[in-house]
């Protein structure tokens, strides 16, 4: 980790080992995937595999990879290393959208709920961006603080509405990430996250350029506002589909992109393969731990992610965050 600033080896010699490490990471991911498919209480048979194990593994990977990507996009667009869907209120807004649609249209189909969640997340992103535009530019910690407060207020509003209307159970399911209920037919919305992630990979350069600020981006012929809108839409789709299907997962979007940009830099096109692999891998690992620690019982993955992510993040903070950004 580059805490001090040593002279770097030229890219021509530095890139080959970097690629080798990425291959190592991908092999690790494949092994984790295999483990995830094989671990479980029931005996291995075809039906268990297709209705439970594979969907769960896919859900974990999709959620982990896309949340990590959402974190990277938000960090680039807000030019702040501490912003992710869980620290900017985006997840809470998605939850509020879900509560509201369940109150007004109790029998709403899942796609409508998803739409409401996405719209609310998008509105929340706009509010968040408006609020942080008033902070002074050097205020790195003010930005996530505003996001956390915003998320707290919105989350409290959701909880209030849920208590009044007997929706606490649903709300809890959205607030705590949990993959134990994932079976075939109940997680497919997460593929929307996957689609949003693919879009993000295709337009990655725009987010890197947007991170250079409005003036440099305009100079390079980028419509800065449109890039912001596109990025925030992708983030909102990812947040809403995650909250709807498996619930909130904090820290993935914070720790993974920060770790990656420290090692390979913040050029989105270069960082994204790493972010995808590490996002999926870290979430798979946490899910495996959650499933095996008290075998045959499960811990909520939110707990594992919270402890592990919190610890890793703490170490990164103590090792000098400001050097990395």
Partner 1 sequence: MISVQHVTTSYGRTVVVDDVSLTIADGGVTALVGPNGAGKSTLLKVIARLLQADAGVVTVADLDVARTAPEVLARRLAVLAQDTQVPVRLTVRDLVTFGRFPHTRGRPTAEDHALVEEAMAHLDITDLADRYLDEISGGQRQRAFIAMVFAQDTDHLLLDEPLNNLDMRHGAQLMQIVRDAADRRGTSIVLVVHDINAASVFADHIIALKDGRVVTQGPPQEVMVEDVLESVFDVPVRVVEVDGYRHAIHLSGRLARPRTG
Contact (CB, 8 A) for 98 and 243: yes
State the binding string over 144-183 for partner 1 (x if CB under 8 A, else -). Answer: ----------------------------------------
Query: Does residue 223 interact with partner 1 by CB under 8 A?
Result: yes
Give least dist CB 175 to partner 1, A.
31
d(CA 301, CA 289): 8
Q: Site for partner 1 (CB under 8 A): which residue of 66, 125, 193, 211?
A: 211
Contact (CB, 8 A) for 63 and 246: yes
**DSSP letters of 152-186?**
HHHHHHHHHHHHHTT-HHHHHHHHS---TT--TTS
Angle of CA points 195, 198, 202, to nearest 5°: 140
- Within positions 234 to 263, which residues make up the interface with partner 1, using CB under 8 A? 261-262
Query: Does residue 212 interact with partner 1 by CB under 8 A?
Result: yes
Applying CB under 8 A, which part among 41-49, 58-66, 72-80, 127-135 lies near partner 1? Answer: 72-80
Give least dist CB 209 to partner 1, A.
6
Q: Site for partner 1 (CB under 8 A): which residue of 39, 119, 188, 267?
A: 267
Give least dist CB 205 to partner 1, A.
4
Query: Does residue 208 interact with partner 1 by CB under 8 A?
Result: yes
- Run of H or E including 277: helix 268-292
Contact (CB, 8 A) for 302 and 252: no
How many residues of this chain interact with partner 1, rule: CB under 8 A? 37
**Contacts of residue 148, Cβ cutoff 8 Å, sequence gap at least 6:** 87, 89
Q: Look at phi and psi of residue 177 and say left if phi exceeds 0, alpha if psi is from -120 to 50, else beta.
A: beta
Q: Please provide the size of the chain in residues.
A: 325
d(CA 197, CA 191): 9
Q: Site for partner 1 (CB under 8 A): which residue of 18, 19, 164, 214?
A: 214
Give least dist CB 43 to partner 1, A.
49
Q: Site for partner 1 (CB under 8 A): which residue of 44, 50, 172, 219?
A: 219
Residues that bind partner 1 (CB under 8 A): 2, 5, 7-11, 14, 76, 79-81, 137, 205, 208-209, 211-216, 218-223, 261-262, 265-267, 269, 323-325
């Amino acid at each position: 980790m580059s805490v001090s600033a040593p002279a770097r080896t030229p890219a021509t010699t530095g890139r080959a080992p970097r690629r080798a490490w990425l291959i190592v990471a991908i092999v690790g991911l494949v092994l984790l995937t295999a483990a995830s498919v094989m671990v479980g209480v029931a005996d291995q048979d075809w039906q268990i595999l297709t209705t439970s194990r594979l969907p769960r593994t896919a859900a974990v990977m999709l959620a982990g990879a896309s949340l990590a990507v959402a974190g990277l996009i938000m960090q680039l667009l807000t030019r702040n290393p501490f912003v992710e869907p869980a620290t900017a209120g985006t997840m809470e807004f998605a939850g509020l959208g879900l509560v509201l649609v369940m109150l007004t249209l109790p029998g709403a189909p899942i796609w409508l709920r998803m739409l409401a969640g996405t719209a609310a997340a998008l509105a929340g992103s706009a509010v968040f961006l408006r609020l942080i535009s008033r902070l002074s530019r050097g205020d790195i910690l003010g930005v996530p603080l505003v996001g956390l407060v915003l998320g707290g207020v919105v989350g409290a509003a959701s909880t209030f509405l849920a208590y009044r209307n007997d929706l606490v159970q649903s709300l809890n399911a959205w607030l705590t990430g949990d993959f134990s209920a994932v079976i075939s037919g109940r997680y497919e919305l997460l593929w929307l996250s996957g689609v949003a992630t693919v879009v993000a990979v295709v337009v990655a350069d725009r987010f890197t350029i947007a991170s250079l600020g409005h003036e440099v981006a305009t100079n390079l012929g980028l419509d800065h506002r449109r890039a912001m809108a596109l990025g925030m839409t992708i983030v909102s789709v990812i947040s809403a589909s995650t909250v709807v299907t498996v619930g909130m997962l904090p820290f993935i979007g914070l720790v993974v992109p920060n770790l990656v940009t420290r090692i390979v830099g913040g050029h989105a096109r270069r960082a994204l393969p790493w972010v995808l692999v590490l996002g999926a891998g870290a979430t798979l690992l946490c899910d495996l731990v959650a499933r095996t620690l008290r075998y045959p019982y499960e811990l909520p993955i939110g707990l594992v992610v919270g402890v592990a992510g919190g610890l890793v993040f703490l170490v990164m903070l103590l090792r000098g965050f400001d050097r990395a950004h």
